[in-house]
């Protein structure tokens, strides 16, 4: 939002690049969210990973909507994002229609496959066409360890510890060098458990 107020023209000029970068993350997370069943995890570990992927996907989409709102191309971005999560297909289709009318076409074309009411198989095929494939648990957890979302760091650390991933302690210590104090306290507790 600050960039939208301080340099709106610069934000608009870089809008497609910004959205495409975030869409790469959204597409990766979306694909993993629907591939996690093949990872052979315990039910509690699978549940935590699924919830983290789902939460991350929605945080990324919300951020994309916020960028579009800050650039002035998507009015009422908070309301539209909230409506996108509605269980009503009619409400969701109205959000897609609003995006189609207000957002530049190249950006809409990138967002549309993940938010429209297409069959899941079509959405997954679209991700595969973009070069996305199922990642291993380790790849997903390392991806989350690099995420700007604090809850992803925490879930990653918990799952690394539970799965006794090789090098999990070193990875956790490495993350502690640059993370917030809240993460430090949490990491110390995990490291002391064993």
Residue 194 pLDDT: 60
Phi-psi region of 76 (alpha: psi -120 to 50; beta: other; left: phi over 0): left
Structure tokens at 38: 């093949």
Torsion sign over Cα 124, 130, 131, 132: negative
| Angle, in degrees to the nearest 10, between helices 150-162 and 137-145 | 140
* Cα end-to-end distance, the chain, whole Å: 43
CB contact at 8 A, 182 and 150? yes
Q: What are phi and psi of 148, to 5 degrees?
A: -80, 0
**Residue 112: its pLDDT value, please?**
94
Predicted local distance difference test score (pLDDT) of residue 5: 62
User: Which pLDDT score is estimated for 162?
Assistant: 85
Q: Quote the pLDDT of residue 61.
A: 96
| Cβ contact 115:96 at 8 Å | yes
Helix (H, G, I), strand (E, B) or coil at 157: helix
Q: Which residues contact 10 (CB under 8 A, 6 or more apart)?
A: 3
pLDDT in the model for residue 6: 59
Please report where in the chains the tokens 């950006």 appear, as a residue.
107
Segment 79-88 long-range contacts (CB within 8 Å, at least 24 positions apart): 84/115, 85/58
pLDDT per residue of the chain (194 residues) written in tens, 0 to 9: 556 565 677 888 889 999 999 999 999 999 999 998 888 888 899 999 999 999 999 999 999 999 999 998 998 999 999 999 899 999 999 999 999 999 999 999 999 999 998 899 999 999 999 999 999 999 999 999 888 888 888 888 888 888 888 887 787 777 777 767 767 677 767 777 76
């Amino acid at each position: 939002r600050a960039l939208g107020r301080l340099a709106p023209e610069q934000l608009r000029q870089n809008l497609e690049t910004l959205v495409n970068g975030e869409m790469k993350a959204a597409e990766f997370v979306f694909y993993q969210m629907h591939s996690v069943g093949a990872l052979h995890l315990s039910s509690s570990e699978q549940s935590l990973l699924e919830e983290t992927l789902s939460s991350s996907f929605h945080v990324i989409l919300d951020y994309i909507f916020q960028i579009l709102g800050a650039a002035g191309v998507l009015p009422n971005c908070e309301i539209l994002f909230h409506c996108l999560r509605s269980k009503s297909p009619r409400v969701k289709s109205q959000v897609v229609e609003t995006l189609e009318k207000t957002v530049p076409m190249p950006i809409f074309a990138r967002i549309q496959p993940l938010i429209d009411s297409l069959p899941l198989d079509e959405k997954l095929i679209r991700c595969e066409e973009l070069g996305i494939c199922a990642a291993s648990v380790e790849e997903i957890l390392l991806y989350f360890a690099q995420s700007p979302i604090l809850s992803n760091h925490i879930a990653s650390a918990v799952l690394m510890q539970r799965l006794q991933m090789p090098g999990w302690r070193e990875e956790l210590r490495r993350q502690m060098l640059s993370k917030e104090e809240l993460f430090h306290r949490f990491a110390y507790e995990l490291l002391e458990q064993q």
